[in-house]
């Protein structure tokens, strides 16, 4: 493991000062502290001891963004001339799509890099990193105790007990912190090695992966036997002085929104909700759709609703969803590049969705939404959760219906069956944090951007739509 002298550390910090455009008293103190640490024989951290994992996805748009981020990091390292970090794209680490849940790749990372790396840093595709600041952060924790297990990041907390976190820490929701993935997070090598051993010998308590950041933090904490997240001020999302990371946006600009006519909207409902939930859709986002149909268990001219000959079920709705997809490919529905399938208690911003869809190729098999996972540590499958809204390209629907994959019962969970089918077809499930299976109050206090929310329970859906999803100045309509 490389050890740098004080001169090298000062060169790195000098590069940092040039990067930030200033030489404050605080920065000079950091230089002095770094030099003192080297002179007293404590460890340093070189770029070649850092493994950066960009949490990229297989979809072509995300793969390009991940590759661009990797190139930017390597170019920054070349400009510094202080070693080259290992930069990995998550979707390339193996052929398994479930690697996005991180735990399956930790043994791979440990086997390949634990002997040469001191730190493993995980970044989103849209997270920028300032390498000199990052090195100073990692050095600060490494010198305290070289073999200590560290879990670093920007801390998030629940405002109240949340269903997406299974109401963990319900008596004091703010007592447990978990990392903001947009700011990046880091594991020390001793911690990653121990996690790799645990993963290979322990069963997870749940087969489902719902909110990755919270579940990772719980797994690492290990009911108090492992480290809690250490909050690090230099792990940032907004731009400010002395940040090791900053974040752009989960809603990138890829050009003008796709035209309204390119998105066909299917709303799943049933007779008992025609007077309760359908009016909310009509009062909020229905007007923003060019093509929209309500699918129910009865024909109702007041909605109007379409019956597909599938009886209503209390749960699952797989039979209804497959009937919707068959109709989408038939002459009964307008031809469109995309289909959005939502529940009647889903709130959505179609204008933001159309902007997001500009980033994706409609000629590609795309399945987009909020990604959940089932049994991912044991080669399971991912799926887009239905309440948040499921977006499928025409190509993806065609591939699905041309296969032999079908519902095993009409009340099977439609989102999970679709996920299993697309996994078997080699079609990746593409995740966007803009889609939400629950209500705004079920997420951390930093929630800002959204395309969708779900559920009317204990909230006023009209207020939720107005405060979270209604654009004051929508883009030009096409």
Q: Is the pLDDT of residue 472 over 80?
A: no
Assigned CATH for 6-247: 3.90.550
Token digits of residue 113: 């890099």
| Average pLDDT of the residues in 424-447 | 94
Q: Name, in order, each residue with C-beta under 8 angstroms of 91's C-beta and a sequence gap of 6 or more.
A: 56, 57, 58, 62, 63, 66, 99, 100
Burial of 225 from C-beta contacts in 10 A (0-12 / 13-18 / 19+): exposed
3-state secondary structure of 87: strand
Measured distance CA(183)–CA(58) in Å, rounded: 22
Q: Is the pLDDT of residue 24 over 80?
A: no
Q: Name, in order, each residue with C-beta under 8 angstroms of 247's C-beta and a sequence gap of 6 or more.
A: 124, 126, 127, 128, 182, 183, 236, 237, 238
Looking up tokens 């296969």, which residue turns up? Answer: 403
Q: Is the pLDDT of residue 437 over 80?
A: yes
pLDDT of residue 478: 56
CA dist 25 → 29, 34, 80, 295, 341 (Å):
6, 14, 23, 65, 56
pLDDT of residue 287: 97
Q: Is 257 left (phi over 0), alpha (psi -120 to 50) or beta?
A: beta
Element (H, E) at 184: none
pLDDT of residue 394: 98
Q: Is the pLDDT of residue 159 over 90?
A: no
Same fold, 6-247 and 260-469: yes
pLDDT of residue 447: 85
Q: How many helices (H) and strands (E) does the chain have?
A: 13, 22
pLDDT of residue 314: 78
> With contact defined as beta carbons under 8 Å apart, do 285 and 349 qualify?
yes
Domain 260-469, CATH class in plain words: alpha beta
Q: Is the pLDDT of residue 11 over 50?
A: no
For the chain, domain boundaries? 6-247, 260-469
pLDDT of residue 171: 87
For residue 173, name the pLDDT band (cuts at 50, 70, 90): confident
Measured distance CA(414)–CA(101) in Å, rounded: 22
> With contact defined as beta carbons under 8 Å apart, do 123 and 54 qualify?
yes
Output the CA angle 15-20-25, nearest 5 degrees.
90
β-bridge mates for residue 307, sequence order: 296
Measured distance CA(92)–CA(95) in Å, rounded: 7
């Amino acid at each position: 493991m490389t050890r740098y002298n004080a001169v090298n550390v000062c060169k790195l910090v000098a590069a940092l000062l040039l990067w930030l455009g200033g030489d404050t008293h605080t920065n000079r103190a950091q230089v002095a502290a770094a030099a003192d640490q080297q002179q007293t024989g404590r460890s340093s951290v070189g770029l070649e001891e850092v493994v950066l994992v960009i949490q990229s996805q297989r979809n072509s748009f995300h793969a390009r963004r991940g590759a661009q981020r990797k190139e930017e990091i390597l170019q920054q390292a070349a400009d510094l001339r202080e070693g080259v970090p290992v930069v990995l794209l998550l979707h390339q680490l193996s052929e398994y799509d479930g690697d996005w849940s991180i735990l399956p790749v930790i043994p791979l990372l440990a086997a390949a890099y634990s002997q040469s790396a001191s730190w493993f840093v995980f970044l989103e595709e849209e997270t920028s990193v300032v390498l000199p600041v990052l090195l100073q952060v990692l050095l600060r924790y490494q010198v305290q105790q070289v073999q200590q297990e560290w879990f670093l990041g920007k801390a998030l907390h629940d405002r109240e007990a949340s269903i997406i976190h299974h109401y963990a820490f319900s008596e004091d929701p703010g007592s447990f912190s978990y990392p903001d993935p947009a700011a990046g997070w880091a594991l020390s090598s001793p911690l990653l090695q121990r996690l790799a051993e645990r993963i290979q010998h322990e069963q997870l308590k749940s087969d489902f992966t719902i909110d990755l950041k919270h579940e990772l933090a719980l797994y690492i904490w290990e009911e108090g036997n492992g480290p809690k997240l250490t909050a690090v001020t230099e792990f940032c999302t907004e731009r400010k002085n002395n940040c090791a990371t900053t974040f752009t946006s989960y809603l990138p600009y890829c050009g003008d929104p796709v035209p309204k006519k390119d998105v066909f909207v299917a709303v799943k409902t049933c007779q008992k909700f025609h007077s309760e939930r359908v009016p909310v859709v009509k009062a909020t986002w229905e007007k923003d759709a060019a093509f929209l149909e309500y699918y129910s268990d009865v024909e109702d001219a007041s909605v109007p609703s379409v019956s597909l000959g599938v009886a209503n079920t209390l749960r699952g709705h797989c039979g209804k969803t497959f009937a919707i997809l068959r109709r989408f490919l038939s002459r009964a529905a307008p031809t469109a590049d995309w289909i959005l399938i939502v529940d009647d208690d889903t709130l959505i911003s179609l204008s933001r969705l159309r902007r997001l869809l500009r980033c994706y190729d409609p000629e590609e098999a795309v399945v987009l939404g909020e990604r959940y996972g089932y049994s991912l540590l044991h080669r399971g499958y991912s799926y887009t959760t239905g309440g948040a809204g499921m977006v499928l390209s025409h190509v993806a629907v065609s591939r699905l219906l041309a296969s032999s994959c079908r519902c095993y019962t009409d009340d099977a969970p439609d989102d999970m069956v679709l996920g299993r089918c697309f996994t078997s077809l080699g079609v990746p499930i593409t995740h966007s944090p803009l889609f939400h299976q629950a209500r705004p109050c079920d997420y951390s206090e930093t929630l800002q951007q959204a395309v969708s929310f779900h559920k009317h329970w204990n909230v006023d859906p009209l207020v939720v739509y107005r405060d979270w999803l209604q654009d004051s100045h929508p883009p030009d309509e096409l």
